[in-house]
């Protein structure tokens, strides 16, 4: 037993040294690529909005593998189990939580997804059309039922500039 524990400790220590070495080598090789904060220009609100408009069609595919690798899909599933009643998702993008809300949000009666990007919401609406035939939910657009899913296009607003909420 003692010999086995020593081998495990040696293996864990070796992995730690390997990880530090890889990080150090990566940092050294990419030191010229680091951008100082003085060289970074701010992205305007219009540039940010346009970027989301352009990536909407491939957003789920581009992000899916990274989210799975980082465990975000598991977190989505766990969080959506706590959803009940009427659910409002602000900044819903392409509706990546929608599947989990329908599969695990057993007490969800209505879902409203909002986003400023028309293209992102178009992807959501395509998902809703497919889900209408597969679930007890009906889209607000496609019909009326006790359980509803809908989308609302919202005014663009940034966490950096909340003036769009002023009356």
pLDDT string in tens for the chain (167-residue length): 677 778 888 888 888 888 888 888 877 777 665 555 555 568 888 888 899 899 999 999 888 888 888 888 889 888 888 888 888 888 888 989 888 888 776 678 778 888 888 888 889 888 887 776 665 555 544 333 445 555 555 555 555 555 554 54
| pLDDT for the residue numbered 54 | 92
**Count of positions (residues) in the chain:** 167
Place of tokens 């329908």: 102
Q: In angstroms, what CA-CA distances link 95 with 73, 91, 111, 119, 126? A: 13, 9, 11, 12, 10
| pLDDT for the residue numbered 26 | 79
What is the side-by-side order of every strand in the sheet holding 148-153? 84-89, 107-115, 148-153, 138-139
| pLDDT for the residue numbered 166 | 53
Give dist(CA 104, CA 78) in Å, integer.
8
By three-state DSSP, how is residue 161 classified?
strand
| pLDDT for the residue numbered 150 | 59
Query: What pTM does this model have?
Result: 0.59
Give yes or no for a contact between 119 and 56, defined as CB atoms under 8 angstroms apart: yes
Q: Residue 164: which residues within 8 A CB-CB, separation 6 or more?
A: 155, 156, 157
């Amino acid at each position: 037993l003692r010999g086995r524990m020593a081998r495990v400790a040696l293996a864990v220590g070796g992995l730690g040294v390997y990880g530090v070495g890889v990080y150090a080598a990566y940092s050294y090789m990419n030191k010229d690529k680091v951008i100082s904060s003085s060289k970074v220009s701010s992205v305007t609100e219009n540039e940010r909005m346009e970027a989301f408009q352009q990536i909407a069609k491939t957003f789920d595919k581009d992000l899916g593998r990274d989210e799975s690798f980082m465990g975000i899909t598991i977190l989505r599933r766990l969080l959506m189990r706590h959803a009940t009643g009427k659910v409002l998702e602000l900044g819903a993008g392409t509706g990546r939580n929608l599947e989990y809300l329908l599969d695990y949000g057993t007490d969800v009666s209505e879902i409203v997804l909002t986003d400023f990007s028309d293209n992102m919401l178009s992807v959501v609406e395509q998902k809703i059309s497919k889900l209408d035939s597969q679930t007890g939910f009906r889209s607000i657009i496609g019909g009326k039922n006790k359980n509803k899913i809908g989308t609302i296009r919202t005014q663009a607003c940034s966490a950096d500039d909340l003036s769009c909420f002023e009356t």
